[in-house]
Chain A
Amino acid sequence: MSRQNFIHDLAWALSHLRISTRSKDPLGDPRWAENDEARAAFLLRDVRLKDYQPNDFVDLTEADQATLREAVWECRRSAQEALSGQPLGKERIEAWIEALRRIRDVVRKPILQEWSAAVEALVADAEGWSWKHGWSTKRESKEIDEAFLETYEVPKLLFHANGATLVVDPVARFAMGAEGVAELAVVPSYDHMVLPRTIDEGWRILSDESARVRTARLDPWNEGSFVQAVSYLKTLQ
């Protein structure tokens, strides 16, 4: 779990950093830190790396593991000094941002690969089930922008189910309570059902058809639930 916690904390902190700095890429384009080192240190301190365990990243290349280890060490050292109230100076702030950028870049690569494969599998499932039911399908490319992963492309699937147009639409890798989220939506109302994913359990359907239930039900992602969800959404188009 510490690897996931580390990644979640990092993603959350980068969301805030992007907003606080008004910079689309606060680590790659650190001009926001130039004029106010104290504020920069204050914001960077929020990027906590407490859950980092070197053993959680043995799947990375040795070079990437070493980069990660050194960058985390650099960040922790800077954070400690900043917390003690020491002014760090321009060069140290730049080194801190650069270390965070290295961490993000090393960790981002496997996450994006894994997430892209998960989205591909989701779309392929929906495509296959649609064909089985004689529904025509069309894949399109979708651009997603997240603070952690920046801009990337994934497929989405449009399909026509007996007069209704629906879409399997990936939303984000980093979501509350999930390690990835997509939507199954009906066009044009865009009423939707949420498709959350966890690393351990894969994709599910958040089934709260009437919304008047205290706790939504998580249905498995299989042909039966998919067809049932499509039937329900068709009533909302």
Chain B
Amino acid sequence: MIEHQRRIERIRSVEREYKAGCAAANLLAERLASDPSCGVREGWKNGDAQNYRDNLGPTFVIRLFAEFEAGLRDYWAGARSRRSKPPMRDLLDAISTERRIARDLLAQVHEVRELRNSYVHDREGSSADLDIAEVRSRVCRFLSRLPRER
């Protein structure tokens, strides 16, 4: 089991990786501008570079949410000794009720969950875009409401 603070650090590192990924995408775009066939020589097409850029946000939201979910499931199974494996929606509601989490924060985290689901299930238009800093902020605020493990 990973302590919440370490989990929050991991979530922050995922966000930093996303920023590194954005910088890499920019460098790649510059390289393609000066050498359009560089990808072909390395086994990929220019369209793959565009897809990489377009999918960065969703990919990292999914990763970040996976860390968040793992943190909550650790808490549920470890700290709270529960054997059930509720769906994420129910898990969020249950932990929020137990920890008396503000309704506004819970609604914000549910929105992140729906966003993540829309990416995983390839649903378009079902959720508004949130930038990764906002996603990180919401899930970290939620995790910080859990008690410390000792």
Contact = CB atoms under 8 A, between A and B. Distances in A.
A177 interface: yes
A88 interface: no
Given A194-B99, A214-B81, A15 B104 contact: yes
Contact of B111 (A19, A146, A174, A196): A19
Contacts of A212: 79, 81, 149-150
Nearest to A195: B100
B103 interface: yes
A214 B82 contact: yes
A95 interface: no
A212 B148 CA distance: 10
B96 interface: yes
A15 B97 contact: no
Contact of A194 (B81, B100, B103, B106): B100
Contact of B102 (A22, A174, A193, A211): A174
Please tell me the size bucket of the interface on A. Answer: 20 to 34
Interface string B98-133: 111111111110010000000000000000100000
A154 to B, nearest CB: 14
A164 interface: no
Nearest to A147: B104
Given A12-B107, A176-B106, A190-B144, A211 B149 contact: yes
Contact of A19 (B81, B108, B149): B108
B114 to A, nearest CB: 10
A191 B4 CA distance: 11
Contacts of A147: 103-104, 107
Contacts of B148: 191, 211, 236
B85 interface: no
Nearest to B111: A19
B147 interface: yes
A11 interface: yes
B62 to A, nearest CB: 20
Interface in A11-62: 11-12, 15-16, 18-20, 22
Contacts of B96: 176-177
B93 interface: yes
Highest count of chain A CB atoms <10 Å: which of B106, B107, B144, B150: B107
A194 B148 CA distance: 12
B80 interface: yes
Contact of A22 (B93, B100, B128): B128
Nearest to A196: B100
B80 A214 contact: yes
Nearest to B103: A174
Given A19-B108, A176-B93, A212-B79, A146 B102 contact: yes
A171 interface: yes
A172 B149 contact: no
B150 A211 contact: yes
Interface in B56-88: 79-82
A210 interface: yes
A181 B81 contact: no
A199 interface: no
A161 B98 CA distance: 28
Given A172-B102, A211-B150, A212-B79, 7 more contacts: A147-B107, A177-B98, A181-B101, A194-B100, A210-B150, A212-B149, A216-B98
Nearest first, the 8 closest Cβ-Cβ pairs linking A and B are: A172-B102, A15-B107, A211-B147, A176-B96, A177-B97, A196-B100, A178-B100, A176-B97
